[in-house]
Amino acid sequence: MTTAIDLLKAIRTGRLQEVRALLDAGTSVEIDDGRGDPGLPLGVACFMGHVDIVRELISRGAKVNTADNGQLTSPLSMALRGRRTEVVKALIELGADVPPGMVTGLTDQEMLIARWRGRHYGATSTSEAAESSDEHPVFEEIEMIRCYGTDTSVLDADLIRAARDMDKK
């Protein structure tokens, strides 16, 4: 029989395969913390910096947003407290709402790109979902056989331009 303690141990030690096995065996992804708030597994994964486990938990139903993402136990705040900028980026890509004035440790460009990736891959926050329309962007497929010597700054500029256009809509 699997327990919540086993899941938390697997998350703390970064063992993704064990986390998957425990979730497959029926362990709940939403375990309450000591105060009765759900989301302890995701909070621990965010604080520890295990991006793959964060993505796995969210794909299995863990909530990326709380009623107040500025609250100390929210996934976003836990990633910030652990100084895990890669997790912060992943949470934003997965639809986390960043409260106004919250210092994320990301540059404006990184925030734009994370939001754009979230939109591109289908993750939208609740406020963005209400604003989104039926219009879908057109993406050009580029097939590269060799990329030695390729100037990727042009690709980065296109990505940044697309993200800024997205924010204007």
Give dist(CA 134, CA 27) in Å, integer.
Answer: 37
pLDDT of residue 10 exceeding 70, the answer is yes
Contact 83, 41 (CB under 8 A): no
Q: Where are the domains of the chain?
A: 4-168
Contact 75, 47 (CB under 8 A): no
pTM confidence score: 0.73
The percent of residues above 70 in pLDDT, for the chain, comes to 78
Pick the range with the lowest mean pLDDT from 93-102, 103-112, 119-128, 143-152: 119-128
pLDDT confidence of residue 41:
96
CATH code, residues 4-168: 1.25.40.20
Q: What is the mean pLDDT of residues 2-23?
A: 94
Chain segment 52-91, per-residue pLDDT in tens: 999 999 999 999 999 999 999 999 999 999 999 999 999 9
Cβ–Cβ contacts within 10 Å for residue 155, how many? 11
Pick the range with the lowest mean pLDDT from 51-55, 85-89, 129-133, 147-151: 129-133
pLDDT of residue 148 exceeding 70, the answer is no
Pick the range with the lowest mean pLDDT from 5-19, 21-35, 54-68, 142-156: 142-156
Which is more confidently placed, 2 or 94? 94
pLDDT of residue 42 exceeding 90, the answer is yes
3-state secondary structure string across 99-155: CCCCCCCCCHHHHHHHHHHHHHCCCCCHHHHHHCCCCCCCCCCCCCCCCCCCCCHHH
Give dist(CA 19, CA 24) in Å, integer.
Answer: 9
